[in-house]
Amino acid sequence: GEDVEQSLFLSVREGDSSVINCTYTDSSSTYLYWYKQEPGAGLQLLTYIFSNMDMKQDQRLTVLLNKKDKHLSLRIADTQTGDSAIYFCAGGASGGSYIPTFGRGTSLIVHP
Amino acid sequence: DSGVTQTPKHLITATGQRVTLRCSPRSGDLSVYWYQQSLDQGLQFLIQYYNGEERAKGNILERFSAQQFPDLHSELNLSSLELGDSALYFCASNPLAGGNTGELFFGEGSRLTVL
């Protein structure tokens, strides 16, 4: 099955860029996802990338996928205090039984 | 609001007891997933139901069971509770078992504390 690894903590200053990294093991993942969990809330999909893409940009978010190294990253430009949350990387194959496997989450702390 | 409803939001009980967590998926979603989130284990997949039938099993203990009813709501039953079962239990739903972008819609979770 899929194994997803993330660093647990990241601290940045407001206005800087944040880069959250993730490595995964299952190369058959059709899609790779970034979810965001705010305090006291459930996870919410932030963005996703199809496995045949290298990069996806969505406003302040940039997702980079290196399939060879099985490495996924999420860059948040101009990080704001409202971006403080836990970010989860997840992978999963589409079709048949779909079981997203999540990393342990990276706590992003944004300080003024 | 994801459209997924979980009850209760908080639950405090004693070791050895049994509890039932309830989940109502988004309208029209046939697939329900249960995850356990704890500080030391992260987000662990427990079990998936699709249209009333068990579809996949993850790291679910034998003391735990789940079902999905004809109206598509699901219940997770936790019995003979131990201190280590204290965690946040999430339900998530998805329209299909697979074949789409695979976005899961999560409820806000049920926080279980076992004393």
Instruction: Give the A:B interface size as CB pairs under 8 Å.
Output: 72
- Interchain pair A97, B90: CB under 8 A: no
For an interface test with B, give the residue of A5, A97, A98, A106 to mutate (most B CBs within 10 A): A98
> Nearest-CA neighbor of B80 among B57, B60, B62, B58?
B62
Shortest CB distance from A94 goes to which of B33, B58, B99? Answer: B99
- Interchain pair B108, A97: CB under 8 A: no
Q: Cα–Cα distance between A76 and B34 in angstroms, integer?
A: 29
Residue ranges of the alpha helices (H) in chain A? none
Q: pLDDT digits over B12-49, tens only?
A: 999 999 999 999 999 989 999 999 998 777 889 999 99
Q: pLDDT digits over B75-103, tens only?
A: 999 999 999 999 999 999 987 755 556 78
- Interchain pair B99, A43: CB under 8 A: no
Q: Are A97 and B98 in contact (CB under 8 A)?
A: yes
Q: pLDDT digits over A10-50, tens only?
A: 999 999 999 999 998 877 777 889 999 998 889 999 999 98
Q: Is A30 exposed, middle or buried (0-12, 13-18, 19+ CB in 10 A)?
A: middle
- Structural tokens at position A37: 């969990």
DSSP string, B35-72: EEEETTTEEEEEEEEETTEEEEE-S--TTEEEEE-TTS
Q: What is the pLDDT of residue B100?
A: 59
- Interchain pair A44, B109: CB under 8 A: no
- Structural tokens at position A32: 């790779």
